[in-house]
Amino acid sequence: MNINDIKDNLENKVKNNYKPNSTKKKVLLGVIVVLLGALGLEVSNTDFNLNDLSKVKRDIDGNVVTDGTGKGTDEYNCADFKTQTQAQKFYKNAGGVSKDTNRLDGDKNGIACQDLPK
């Protein structure tokens, strides 16, 4: 046996050890990939809604910022409401003039989406 044969034999053994050729290795590799993905999400403080795979928003304290529809509370505009009454209710619940992150009240008079029908 010459040096090239020994080298080739050793390279083949190394390659075969890294291939997931058994069920146990494949399962272990899958678990490792899932755990690394979860660790990445945890480190980046990112969560996803599994119903529609949308990103879940959180406030500074880590609380989920949503109204239950999967839409963040700061992602609304007047077109999301059928009536001015619906928009006004949402606007008041969101904090009114002082916390109008959606800019539903453009002139800041306390009345949201004035162009919508009552």
Residue 68: the pLDDT is 58
pLDDT at residue 34 in the model? 92
User: What is the spatial distance between Cα 100 and Cα 47, in angstroms, rounded to a whole number?
Assistant: 25
Give Cα 8 distance to the centre of its chain: 47
Predicted structure pTM score: 0.43
Q: What backbone phi and psi angles, to 5 degrees, belong to 110?
A: 90, 0
Domain residue extents for the chain: 3-44, 76-118
pLDDT value, residue 84: 92
How is residue 19 written in tokens?
């291939």
- With beta carbons less than 8 A apart as the criterion, state whether 114 and 84 touch: yes
Spatial contact of 64 and 56, defined as CB atoms under 8 Å apart: yes
Mean pLDDT by runs of 10 across the 118 residues of the chain is 82 71 83 89 74 71 64 78 90 83 87 90
Distance CA 76, CA 50 (A): 21
Distances (CA, A) of 41 to 45, 62, 70, 79: 6, 14, 19, 33
Which 8-state DSSP code applies to residue 62? Answer: S
